[in-house]
Structure 1
Amino acid sequence: MTDRTDISRIRYDEGCLAAHALNVVGDRWALLVVRELMLVPRRFQAIRAGLPGITAAVLTQRLGQLTQSGVVTHDRATGLYALTPSGQGLLPVLQAMCRWGALHPGHDPRRFISPTALMISMTAMIDRRAAQGLRTVAGFRSGTDSFLMRLEGDGGATVTTGAEGGEFWLEGDGNALAIAVYGPMPLTGSVASGAIHAQGDLTAAQRFIDLFRLR
């Protein structure tokens, strides 16, 4: 197997597989770039919109490194960046980091949350025991993004892009939706305040979001 890691970027001169993984995706912003591409291919500016703290120069560098490492592909004809199967394989890593991070103090949900970040966190933080046997399709809209989250009865949640098919739809920016999902206010309160918009069966929507906890 060919080692695609750029020797000039090796930071950990060890044979440890974890160190090797960090040599590939351990640079600052790299995993968050992967996060923004996990659910849908995006163009440069759309990736940057999900990472408001990154500069154009750093994003260019990270995309180049991830492409060289075989984690990301770039279609020059469309301008779209997408994850390779190797990049898609990092989803369990991101989910595990969400669960691990929730155990540590200092998390500030008032800081920017991208819609993709919220969707991935929800797949990580679902109460699998409470969700066992449940089947539903929930829709989320945020800006130009539309996601469908499915419960298939096994206790887990999966996310795809899609504009139709949800039993209910919740719409807002990433932070507003995160507050509606994880916060203490009933969904009807979030809707009444104008923080989010909703369509469909709100009772079913409330039962759905009750499955998610940060702790």
Structure 2
Amino acid sequence: MTDPAPFRLRYDEGCLAAHALNMIGDRWALLVVRELSLTPKRFQMIRAGLPGITAAVLTQRLAQLQAAGVVGHDAAMGAYGLTASGQGLRPVLQALCRWGAPHPGHDPRRFISPTALMISMTAMLDGAARTDIRAGFRSGREGFRQWVAEGMLQVVADPDPRADFVIEGTGNALARAVYGADPPDRIDGVTLQGDLSAAKAFMGLFRLPVSLN
């Protein structure tokens, strides 16, 4: 009997983890999923969030993820988006953020895409957080709205977010505003509109763990 799986066999094992890695274990695959986690995107916008990937490799990964049923393609819109199966990988991305955060070697000066920051924030929210503040973030052509509900951070893509405050900058600048010690109005490359006190309170909901070293 031949293997009916529509993806390349990378690990010849019956282990379920190996089976999952057969579908999403190639380099860049999970990061492509990350970039599509909040909204469908066209090819060039996906690539903008992954500056180290070549067009040929991205084309290959998208084809593999489509074959695995993780990504779909809307030919009329020219956009790629996650299927229900692909959306099921968000907890995997969050768990990787939480696992990696305390390990030494992370360099926040390296490129951080706006979507990557949003996903990290869903993972690093204080689990006891309670607030009615509505937050907005903008970075280039991308925008997001955030709020906390039942101790979980909710994020939706919105190119023109309306919120108690909106901060704008590159992914790296926004990451400094979220995780750094300085208030958002004192960070180079960040502009803030709206309630500064609300912005400070909201940023205080996110904490990076102490390094294991």
TM-score by length of 1: 0.93
CA distance in 1, matches of 2:40, 2:4: 25
Deviation at 1:3, TM superposition (A): 5.2
CA distance in 2, matches of 1:38, 1:188: 29
Please state whether the residue corresponding to 1:179 is helix, strand or coil: helix
Q: Residue 196 of structure 1 aligns with which residue?
A: 190
Q: Which amino acid aligns with 1:23?
A: N
Please state whether the residue corresponding to 1:61 is helix, strand or coil: helix
Consecutive unaligned residues of structure 1, counting only runs of 5 or more, are: none
8 A Cα contact 2:37 2:87, kept in partner? yes
Deviation at 1:136, TM superposition (A): 2.2
Please state whether the residue corresponding to 2:131 is helix, strand or coil: strand
8 A Cα contact 2:70 2:82, kept in partner? yes
Whichever structure has more helix as a proportion of its residues is: 1
Q: Residue 110 of structure 2 aligns with which residue?
A: 111
Q: Residue 11 of structure 1 aligns with which residue?
A: 10
TM-score by length of 2: 0.93
8 A Cα contact 1:134 1:155, kept in partner? no
CA distance in 1, matches of 2:20, 2:6: 10
Q: Kindly, what percent of the aligned residue pairs are identical?
A: 64
8 A Cα contact 1:14 1:20, kept in partner? yes
Alignment equivalent of 1:174, drawn from 171, 176, 184: 171
Please state whether the residue corresponding to 1:24 is helix, strand or coil: helix
CA distance in 2, matches of 1:155, 1:77: 38
How has the CA–CA distance of structure 1 residues 181 and 40 changed in structure 2, closer, same or farther, with 3 Å as cutoff? same
Q: Residue 140 of structure 2 aligns with which residue?
A: 143
Q: Structure 1, residues 98-124: CA drift from partner, whole Å, max 9, x if none?
A: 000002100000000000000000000
Q: Residue 165 of structure 1 aligns with which residue?
A: 162
Deviation at 1:150, TM superposition (A): 1.1
Q: Residue 50 of structure 2 aligns with which residue?
A: 51
8 A Cα contact 1:150 1:157, kept in partner? yes
Please state whether the residue corresponding to 2:99 is helix, strand or coil: helix
Q: Which amino acid aligns with 2:44?
A: Q
CA RMSD of aligned residues (A): 1.2
1:124 and 2:120 equivalent? Answer: no
Please state whether the residue corresponding to 1:169 is helix, strand or coil: strand
Q: Which runs of 4+ in 1 moved over 6 A?
A: none
8 A Cα contact 1:4 1:70, kept in partner? no
How many residues in Structure 1 have an aligned counterpart in Structure 2?
206
Deviation at 1:77, TM superposition (A): 1.7
Q: Which amino acid aligns with 2:31?
A: L
CA distance in 2, matches of 1:67, 1:138: 33
